[in-house]
Amino acid sequence: MGFDAPPDDPQRTAPAAGASLDVPGGADVPDAALDEALVTSRLDGRVALVTGAGSPDGIGYATARRLVALGARVAIVSTTRRIHDRAAELGATGFVADLTDEAEVGALADAIADSLGDVQVLVNNAGLASRTSPEVLRPVAQLTYDEWRAEIDRNLSTAFLCSRAFVGGMAESGWGRIVNLSATAGPVNALPTEAAYAAAKAGVLGLTRALAMELVADGVTVNAVAPGTIYTAASTVTELKQGLGTPIGRPGAPDEVAAAIAFLCSPAASYITGQMLVVDGGNSVREAQFR
């Protein structure tokens, strides 16, 4: 979209790349900030970590593929050795770790630093349900404390532990991107029997916003992406039927979520922080079912 204002309107004319921008009070926007915002979406030379990328049909894998295409040096991690197969397919570096374990997250951070350098882009995707680790679906009255903690740990604690492990290096370097995978369940809506998952994903949004404010002066942005019904290998028949009922009329694809994540990871998203981007085919804004 272009600017429709007359060229002599200083309030609505886009600044040229490399020019400083005068603002009230006499302060100037640094040239580098404008250049970053206006010039590139590339991540050449940046080290990126995508968690939960073990499935070739999942959001993590699709995200890693996009970040590789943007020029990043990508590390991927999951809980099983199949991650090395995914890494070979992508041209990435694979690591095995349990991200609910504080010590293993610390060891992962050291291993990535030794192999690739300091992480500047972090995508906290780990925690989404899979066939081998399905979401706990049980009413609150029947939910055990262990089941509750398991959902909180894999969806929220993983994001906390990984963010804590890498934010110091990002802040020290003066640049970084963190994108957390939330969900429409929790921050936007909810269904019966998914209280633990919804609470965890709402917590991811809270973590995102708090961390964004903590790091805003350090050149680090923190955002969340909230998928709706996405067609992955872990999708159930019920979920796929829900996807057919969206305004667009189908479930989303992992690469459609990955595209949103990759944008928020890019230099072009430099003026976006503390936000949640919903990727759900318009389902969350519809007042009534029409299909």
What is the greatest pairwise CA distance in the chain? 66
- CB-CB neighbours of 166 under 10 Å: 25
SS3 of 51, please? strand
Taking a C-beta distance cutoff of 8 angstroms, is the pair 198, 153 a contact? no
Taking a C-beta distance cutoff of 8 angstroms, is the pair 48, 265 a contact? yes
Taking a C-beta distance cutoff of 8 angstroms, is the pair 51, 126 a contact? yes
Q: How many helices (H) and strands (E) does the chain have?
A: 9, 9
Taking a C-beta distance cutoff of 8 angstroms, is the pair 217, 173 a contact? no
Residues ≥6 apart with Cβ < 8 Å to 280: 184, 188, 226, 227, 228, 229, 246, 252
Q: Is 145 a catalytic residue?
A: no
3-state helix, strand, coil in the chain (%, to 5): 45, 15, 40
Given 61, 197, 231, 271, which residue is catalytic?
A: 197
- CB-CB neighbours of 39 under 10 Å: 12
What's the CA gap between 81 and 281, in Å, rounded?
34
Show which residues are catalytic. 197
